[in-house]
Amino acid sequence: MNKKSPTVAARVGPETNLKRRNNSFSNTLHSLASEVLFSLRVAVEFLQGFRILHYAGPCVAVFGSARIKEGSRYYEDARSMGGRLAESGFSVIIGGGPGIMEAANRGAREHHGLSIGCNIALKKEQETNSYLDKQFSCKHFFVRKVLMFRYSSAFIIMPGGTGTLDEFFEALNLVQTHKIKDFPIVVFGKAYWSPLMSLFSAMLSSGTITQEDLNNIIFTDVIQDAIAHIELVTRKKYTS
């Protein structure tokens, strides 16, 4: 007597169950309509940023902690840095918040430079400072990051936290992969960033980065050295 063939349900049961589970999981993610709407909202953010920054002239982005208080050494350094950048003909673009960001915007305005804020909507530290000539607000970090990279001729990394490090290492990665070229980066505050200097030395020794990756980076405590480095690299970029 012939054995009965397995039923179709029995043969494909596990695969069918897997597909059902996958479909069920997919349904908990984003619908196609919601992703289209998300894309449109992101496009609007980019267009707002383009409208503000397109006529801003050469910009230098200054990053640093929002928690640095007025009167502290690094606040005053950032304020002086903003002023020197303005005197050198650069617009100053900042996250738009308090602390280091406020100080650099303040210095730029005091020296009649263009002071721009690219704010991000957060539960904390999201209020803009009062030293902005132009400003716009982003809902998404990646939009702000793209805009600041696109329109900046240089980065100045003042003492800060994880957000500052995020921008710094993104810049390093783009330099290393040659997505951006002749892009000067100033890391200001040698004592504060000394662990980072040691990390780079260890990475060079291990061969995970090369000296070429760091050619346009300087660590300094001197504002004039920072400005001179930016002017040297940008001049070479636009005259070569």
Other Cβ atoms within 10 Å of 136 Cβ, number: 20
Report the alpha-carbon distance of residue 63 to residue 156 in Å, rounded. 6
Domain 35-239, CATH: 3.40.50.450
* 31 φ/ψ angles, rounded to the nearest 5 degrees: -75, 160
pLDDT in tens, the chain (240 residues): 555 555 544 455 555 555 555 555 555 567 888 999 999 999 999 999 999 899 899 999 999 999 999 999 999 999 999 999 999 999 999 988 899 999 999 999 999 999 999 988 777 655 789 999 998 888 898 999 999 999 999 999 999 999 999 999 999 999 999 998 889 999 999 999 999 999 999 999 999 999 999 999 999 999 999 999 999 998 877 676
Model confidence pTM above 0.85: no
Report the alpha-carbon distance of residue 157 to residue 235 in Å, rounded. 20
